[in-house]
Chain A
């Protein structure tokens, strides 16, 4: 069975500060891991994905995430937060791709 835990339902950072959103996963097989972003009243947009290639994955808008098997983690980072980064972020895990299991989300607030 697969599952995702996102630590911290709300994260606030100052504009220009480091963004760190935490995600831990549980999977019985080598997983596919994803981070999606959701802006108000919109669907989900893929930020980045891990598919067993490089453990450090770079995505859109300056985000990146590192797959750490020993820690079963896939934390999302961005060196410098921008006001436009304010949104809801979801970590998700999938095995064969038939079903994605999403975390409960982390709401990111960027303080000017």
Chain B
């Protein structure tokens, strides 16, 4: 069983640039969510995708956007990068629907973004 994989693992951008982070969900999982984890903090929910549509969003501005593809993989896009966007971005996948609704998340190892 393939777990959640994310790319790139590390990247450096400058303020004002745009970044795209990618995530392949665990086999059989149809729901992907993204979290931002600032240094020394717990993960903060950015948004979730199910059936290629966003179906939940945290307190993040519109310059944070995403996509989910038919194979359930996902992208997180961040425009107009700010210094405070420096963080570990975690992708998590799970199964939604039916009897299995416990919400257990399976995380990738994250993409560490540094904004200079």
Q: Taking beta carbons and an 8 Å cutoff, which residues of A are in contact with B?
A: 4, 32, 34, 36, 41-46, 49, 51, 90, 92, 94, 96-105
A-B contact count (CB 8 A): 66
Tell me the minimal C-beta distance from A6 to chain B in angstroms: 8
> Which A residues lie within 8 Å of B106 (CB)?
46
**Within the assembled complex, what's the spacing in Å between the Cα atoms of A99 and B104?**
10
Contact string against A for B residues 79-116, beta-carbon threshold 8 Å, 1 for contact and 0 otherwise = 00000000000101010100001111111111000000
Closest residue to A34 on the B side, CB-wise? B104
Closest residue to A105 on the B side, CB-wise? B42
Q: How many residues belonging to B are interface residues under a CB distance threshold of 8 Å?
A: 27
> Which B residues lie within 8 Å of A43 (CB)?
4, 90, 107-110
Q: B44 to A102, Cβ gap below 8 A?
A: yes
Judged by DSSP, the binding face of B is: loop
Q: A97 to B43, Cβ gap below 8 A?
A: no
> Which A residues lie within 8 Å of B20 (CB)?
none
Q: A100 to B41, Cβ gap below 8 A?
A: no
Contact string against A for B residues 10-37, beta-carbon threshold 8 Å, 1 for contact and 0 otherwise = 0000000000000000000000010100
Closest residue to A42 on the B side, CB-wise? B109
Q: A96 to B105, Cβ gap below 8 A?
A: no
Closest residue to B110 on the A side, CB-wise? A43
> Which A residues lie within 8 Å of B56 (CB)?
98-99
